[in-house]
Structure 1
Amino acid sequence: MLSHQDNATETVRLLRQQAALARFGSYAFREPVLLKILNEAARTCAEGLDVPFCKICRYRPAENDLLIEAGYGWRDGVIGHVVSAADHSTPQGRAFITEQPVILHDLQDQRECGDVVLPAFYAQHGIISTIDVIIKGLSGEPYGVLEIDSAVQHDYDQHDVAFLTGFANILAEAVATSQRVQALRVAFARAEALVVEKDMLAEELKHRVRNNLQLISGMLDSHLRAVAGPAQKVSVMAMIRRVMTLAEVYEQLLGTGLGRSIDLGEYINAVCKNLPTLQNSFSKDILLSCRTVTLPVDLDTVTAIGMIVAETVSNSYEHAFPNGSGLIDIELRRAGAQPGAVLTISDDGPGFTEVAGSKRHGIGLVRRLMQQLDGSTSLDVTAGTRWTFRFPTPSAPETPAEDGG
């Protein structure tokens, strides 16, 4: 039976061990470097059990052995070099295979040790007593084994085993957390590398597309200066205009990093900025107003709407203002409660009468493009000319901000 003084000493020892567990737990989940966690665990265990040596062995599946990964108190040449078989021939191997604590009070007692094979460094350090416990978390494969060693024979009790087992459990979770963090870092690094590579490829593609479209536009511009007839000039201008709208599609697409959707409102604003420069033969007194909302759409939709805007606006430039001045107004809005969008293009000219089935002024192209989108087209010429295009769009969160043009 323990004396009062012995009880007090035991209580102090247990409190010190519990405090060591708490301190290590706090440290382990703050420290990102796994090797530092392992070495701190070895030091804390050795001091908590008042022994000079502690080591942490990592299991290596390919070799089926246990490598001393970290430790405390050992001479050079032990940590990172010495391995033990992960089988019943070693104390570490027994603890690893059985997942039960292995206690050897006296390594010199053949009856206790049986057929245990010890590496030479045990004798070199004068090791007499050891305890091995497995390092295994609540899930996943075990990491390895935690062992304390002493050159003095110890009669380890249940409190010592409980302390070491509790420490190994905390260490297992700390190791698992560190491994997850490291895996995430590797994944993030790979993702960042892929993003950089994607951006480089997108930028290269952007330059190539832009250069090719500029080349085509330059060729058409040279052809425009060479042709003589008005009808031919109108035809070439239409081709230049369509190349420009395609060029702007790719500018918007590549600017978003080859995303699946493009902001139709932003795209229409960009097209509106470029359209007046293609109307050199017409009056500069024609104003172009553009009001849009943010509206993500797919590539087919943005391409078709871009063509519709270019054709309809150019038609107004060419035919709506016999006096050389006026206003062209473009508005893109959501269709209200119903999914979809509404695009209106109007001018304050005298209006015109559309001949049924006519493809003049690109009207036939506009109607075909709207049919491709499963949309509808209506024309009002009571006060100028007002085109209304209704078309479906992918559902997207409502964005209140609008862009002015």
Structure 2
Amino acid sequence: MDDSEATVRKLRRQQAALAGFGSFALRQSDLLKVLTEAAEVCAHCMDVPFSKVCRYRPDENDLLVEAGYGWKNGVIGNVVSRADASSPQGRAFSTGRPSICRDLRADGEFVLPGFYAEHGVISTVDVIIKGNGEPFGVLEIDNDHQSDYDQHDIDFLTGFANVIAEAVATSARTDLLRSTLAVMTTAVDEKDRLLDQKNVLAEELQHRVRNNLQLIYGMLYKQLYDTQDVDGRRGLKAIARRVSTLAQVYDHLLGSEMTRTTDFGAYVTSLCVSLGEIQATTGGSIALTCESETILIDLDAVTALGLIVTELAANSFDHAYPGGRGTIAVAVHEVPGDPETGILTVRDDGPGFTVDPEGRRHGLGLVRRLVEQLGGSVTVDFTPGTLWTIRFPIRSAAA
């Protein structure tokens, strides 16, 4: 086998390993497992006995071995160096460029921990692991033989480092969502506790739950501005929109006597004003109108119907008007001659789009589940534009 054929085979093996690792990283929620797998795969593909992933610690300005492959006990979890040019990995981190050291024995400017000599490390290659803002750290391979590395090796390791960076960003978003859910759970538990204390419902329940929801909303939008990933931003924006809808319920209740029912017509009018203001920031010319009459229903039904309005209106804003112009009309009224049934309609005059109302895309799966929760029904008509009609029971909702 000549050198060119060996190089091609090596590149194919590295490309397959990178693709396989990318698939693994997307499925794995445990960041440490992702980092450990990255270290092992890199070591195998580069034919070296050791590799490690080092995490930058800004308060200490150093690099900590977060995960690795081939090392004796005691290496992983310890600091490897300062985050400066006094070490190969520190040089890569501080300059942002790959660092290749073919023979550590001949380079006296580096300050290295004792485990390098203990493991007989001679050659190293370091590439930076990017992050939102400052880098996450570095990916390093270590060889106990003197080796020469080329641009193909750097490209391979850089590709791995980029996948690791995305896994780190995904882990951060997951941690945020978990903390958000924990705050929401605390808010719900607090609400349930306060419901048993009738003397503090009106003064405390509404304010504290509303404030918790606004806190969650702020956390989500801060992360939204820090997130560059398109799918991540779409998911965070959808959650934030739903949390804002829940907060709107409590804004509507503030100042009124706490009861188990409220005027859904007045609430949806206020909600549409807020939704129109939020969507107006997109710079388009899409109007949102609301026509409603007084319908007293249970607070849980108000929340569910408010989320339905939010999802359908947002769906029309996002998908119904490629040209950025049109009108979305929301209406709430009782069925004529049937005071026990209400009708909510959301109509847009866009060109229309084909979608399965039973599916999960564009938040429509949530709409279907909420309608089922209410004991209602939903129909959709796509000609012309799109018209959603939700029928819901008034008596059972207020019972």
**TM-score normalised by structure 1 residue count:** 0.53
- 1:158 CA displacement: 1.1
| Alignment match of 2:126 (pick from 121, 124, 132) | 132
The answer to whether the 8 Å contact 1:91/1:132 transfers is yes
Q: 1:144 aligns to what?
A: 137
SS state of the match for residue 260, structure 1? helix
Q: 2:25 aligns to what?
A: 28
Q: 1:216 aligns to what?
A: none
Q: 1:289 aligns to what?
A: none
SS state of the match for residue 108, structure 1? helix
Q: 1:13 aligns to what?
A: 10
- 1:203 CA displacement: 2.5
**TM-score normalised by structure 2 residue count:** 0.54
When residues 100 and 340 of structure 1 are mapped into structure 2, their CA distance, relative to the original with a 3 A threshold, is same
The answer to whether the 8 Å contact 2:130/2:162 transfers is yes
When residues 87 and 36 of structure 1 are mapped into structure 2, their CA distance, relative to the original with a 3 A threshold, is same
Q: 1:121 aligns to what?
A: 115
- 1:260 CA displacement: 3.3
- 1:184 CA displacement: 1.2
Q: 1:170 aligns to what?
A: 163
- 1:261 CA displacement: 4.8
When residues 108 and 207 of structure 1 are mapped into structure 2, their CA distance, relative to the original with a 3 A threshold, is closer
When residues 208 and 73 of structure 1 are mapped into structure 2, their CA distance, relative to the original with a 3 A threshold, is closer
SS state of the match for residue 147, structure 1? strand
When residues 338 and 15 of structure 1 are mapped into structure 2, their CA distance, relative to the original with a 3 A threshold, is closer
Q: 1:108 aligns to what?
A: 105
- Whole-Å Cα distance in 2 between the matches of residues 127 and 144 of structure 1? 20
| Alignment match of 1:189 (pick from 166, 175, 182) | 182
- Whole-Å Cα distance in 1 between the matches of residues 291 and 23 of structure 2? 55
- Whole-Å Cα distance in 2 between the matches of residues 163 and 189 of structure 1? 39
- Whole-Å Cα distance in 2 between the matches of residues 208 and 95 of structure 1? 58
When residues 10 and 207 of structure 1 are mapped into structure 2, their CA distance, relative to the original with a 3 A threshold, is same
Alignment of 1:32-47 (within 5 A): 32-47=29-44
- Whole-Å Cα distance in 1 between the matches of residues 163 and 65 of structure 2? 19
| Alignment match of 1:260 (pick from 243, 248, 252) | 252
Q: Which runs of 5+ in 2 are unaligned?
A: 203-248, 268-289, 297-329, 334-341, 344-391
- 1:45 CA displacement: 0.6
- Whole-Å Cα distance in 1 between the matches of residues 169 and 294 of structure 2? 51
Q: Percent identity?
A: 53
Does residue 83 in structure 1 map to residue 80 in structure 2?
Answer: yes
- Whole-Å Cα distance in 1 between the matches of residues 194 and 138 of structure 2? 48
Structure number, greater radius of gyration: 1
| Alignment match of 1:179 (pick from 149, 168, 172) | 172
| Alignment match of 1:158 (pick from 151, 170, 177) | 151
- 1:402 CA displacement: 4.7
- Whole-Å Cα distance in 2 between the matches of residues 31 and 190 of structure 1? 24
When residues 94 and 203 of structure 1 are mapped into structure 2, their CA distance, relative to the original with a 3 A threshold, is same
Q: Which runs of 5+ in 1 are unaligned?
A: 210-256, 271-292, 299-336, 344-394
Q: Residue type matched to 2:71 in 1?
A: W
Does residue 48 in structure 1 map to residue 48 in structure 2?
Answer: no
Aligned residue pairs total: 236
Q: Residue type matched to 1:174 in 2?
A: A
CA RMSD of aligned residues (A): 3.2
- Whole-Å Cα distance in 2 between the matches of residues 205 and 58 of structure 1? 51
SS state of the match for residue 29, structure 1? helix
When residues 20 and 206 of structure 1 are mapped into structure 2, their CA distance, relative to the original with a 3 A threshold, is farther
When residues 402 and 153 of structure 1 are mapped into structure 2, their CA distance, relative to the original with a 3 A threshold, is closer
- Whole-Å Cα distance in 2 between the matches of residues 174 and 156 of structure 1? 26
SS state of the match for residue 252, structure 2? coil
Does residue 205 in structure 1 map to residue 198 in structure 2?
Answer: yes
Q: Residue type matched to 2:88 in 1?
A: P
Q: Residue type matched to 1:172 in 2?
A: A
- Whole-Å Cα distance in 1 between the matches of residues 101 and 393 of structure 2? 77
- Whole-Å Cα distance in 2 between the matches of residues 69 and 295 of structure 1? 53
- Whole-Å Cα distance in 2 between the matches of residues 156 and 342 of structure 1? 73
